[in-house]
Amino acid sequence: MKVLIIGSGGREHALAWKLSQSDVEQIVCVPGNGGTAALKRCENVPLAVDDFQGIGQCVQERQISLVVVGPELPLSLGISDYLRSQGIPVFGPTQAGAQIEASKSWAKELMQSAGVPTAAAQTFTDANAAKAYIRAQGVPVVVKADGLAAGKGVTVATTLAQAEAAVDAAFGGTFGLAGEKVLVEEYLTGQEVSVLVLTDGVSVQLLLPAQDHKRIGEGDTGANTGGMGAYAPVPLVTPALMDQIQREIIEPVVMALQQRGIDYRGVLYAGLMLTPKGGPKVIEFNCRFGDPETQVILPLLETPLEDLLLACAEQRLAQAPPIRWKTGVAACVVTAAQGYPGAYTKGQAISGIEQAEGLGVAVFQAGTKFRDQQLVTDGGRVLGVTAWGENFAQAIAEAYAAVEQIHYEGKYYRRDIGYRVRAGSATC
């Protein structure tokens, strides 16, 4: 079996890393990164993730048996439709299915029609109407640009001025087309968890629940980021709660997608708020693997990943046996560039990855590249250092010991990843 992975982040490195540990004959990453280039049986091909023709040609030439699409952008542009129309098995939803992430108003309507618990919201195409509604609702309130905004389109506003500024920013073109519509949403409290599901559009299999740390600062403070660390599983999410999430959220949504004639084969990622009184409510759906959640889920997977992905792509997940997991837990500490998520520098030489890996962890590369044979920083989130073990105290300590081995100018990381579970107690 030959697998082609589209994308170049830590998530794609983790996918390729997992596949490289099994019987997969060859892995091709488009465009991949310095980490994927170093994996056995893995090769990078320097094509853009939205170069459909180039990717299609690469798939035919190399007789690829499965394409796995990592990021949301090519999915929302219809890469799965394009490749599938050429008879290629693809893990990743169609353009219609990707709307569940690419349009928050579309997703909200889908959830409401399916009776799925989510924050109440109104959609606006006009700034004045949105502001009038906000004044009537009061704060705190959440303002969301409708489309893909690279994690920057959501404002949790605690003052009216903030909320109105967020409306103006969205309609003023800050997020491009993503801001042509704006949602004003009820503010929810509770803990956030990520439940990722594999689906072939009919059956579902839930992956282990994960929790990420979205904020830049310790104690979950400061600006939102792509994710500064994660861990799995989440003790707070009991098997009974997972069942409830499956019955009340996942299955109705998969059914609603089917009813709209959408052929959804890939990951359905539910970002949930565990509200103290109302149970789990959906904050958003993503149409792909989460980053950095994938980096902590995959090390715990026992079932060969390629079998699951191909079963989804070929729509025979119902015949696949239940997913098997290793015992234990995993934690990932992200190291970022100084200044992230604001302006940051690139091009700093990175050293110590081999020493870190020598401690038995996986160092997933995200914002890196090679310059004159030297690995250098090339993004805001640079590396994801993942360790796994019997308990959180051990896994987190190992991840931090490995982070200490890695050096580059301006290395920033949070020192409190997994603080809710660190003591090993299940008191999330």
Ligand X SMILES: Nc1ncnc2c1ncn2[C@@H]1O[C@H](COP(=O)(O)OP(=O)(O)O)[C@@H](O)[C@H]1O
**Please, what is the minimum distance in Å from the beta carbon of residue 151 to Mg ion?**
7
Position 156 contacts ligand X (CB under 6 A): yes
Residues 196-215 interacting with ligand X (rule: CB under 6 A): 214
Q: Of 169-177, 187-195, 242-250, 327-335, which part binds ligand X (CB under 6 A)? A: 187-195
CB-hemisphere CA count at 13 Å for 38? 17
**Please, what is the minimum distance in Å from the beta carbon of residue 308 to ligand X?**
25
Q: How many CB atoms lie within 10 A of CB 125?
A: 12
Nearer to ligand X, 60 or 158 (CB): 158
**Please, what is the minimum distance in Å from the beta carbon of residue 153 to ligand X?**
6
At residue 363, φ and ψ (nearest 5 deg) are: -105, 105
Contact 152, 295 (CB under 8 A): no
Count of positions (residues) in the chain? 428
Count of residues in contact with Mg ion, rule CB under 5 A: 2
**Sole residue written with tokens 């959220």:** 249
Q: Quote the tokens at residue 184.
A: 């004003």
Q: Of 63-71, 182-190, 194-202, 378-386, which part binds ligand X (CB under 6 A)? A: 182-190
154: CB partners within 8 A, 6+ apart:
142, 143, 144, 145, 224
**Please, what is the minimum distance in Å from the beta carbon of residue 105 to ligand X?**
12
Q: Beta strand 26-31 with 42-44: parallel, antiparallel or unpaired? A: parallel
Position 185 contacts ligand X (CB under 6 A): yes
Nearer to ligand X, 151 or 358 (CB): 151
Mark residue 408 as left, alpha or beta (left: phi above 0; alpha: psi -120 to 50; beta: remaining).
Answer: beta
Position 271 contacts ligand X (CB under 6 A): yes
- Longest Cα–Cα distance of the chain, Å, equals 60
Residues 273-302 interacting with Mg ion (rule: CB under 5 A): 284
Nearer to Mg ion, 39 or 195 (CB): 195
Position 395 contacts ligand X (CB under 6 A): no
Count of residues in contact with ligand X, rule CB under 6 A: 16
191: CB partners within 8 A, 6+ apart:
211, 236, 273, 274, 428
**Please, what is the minimum distance in Å from the beta carbon of residue 226 to Mg ion?**
10
Contact 382, 368 (CB under 8 A): yes
Q: Of 26-34, 101-109, 225-233, 267-275, which part binds Mg ion (CB under 5 A)? A: 267-275
Q: Beta strand 66-69 with 2-7: parallel, antiparallel or unpaired? A: parallel
Residues 82-121 interacting with ligand X (rule: CB under 6 A): 119
Position 142 contacts ligand X (CB under 6 A): yes
At residue 391, φ and ψ (nearest 5 deg) are: -145, 170
- Gyration radius of the chain over CA positions: 21
Q: Of 9-17, 85-93, 179-187, 383-391, which part binds ligand X (CB under 6 A)? A: 179-187
Closest CA to 368 of 351, 387, 344, 347: 347
Nearer to ligand X, 144 or 265 (CB): 144
The partner in contact with residue 154, picked from Mg ion, ligand X, none with C-beta cut-offs of 5 to 8 angstroms by kind, is: ligand X
Position 188 contacts ligand X (CB under 6 A): yes
Closest CA to 334 of 428, 231, 409, 254: 231
Residues that bind ligand X (CB under 6 A): 119, 142, 144, 151, 153-154, 156, 185-188, 192, 214, 271, 283-284
Interface positions with Mg ion (CB under 5 A): 271, 284
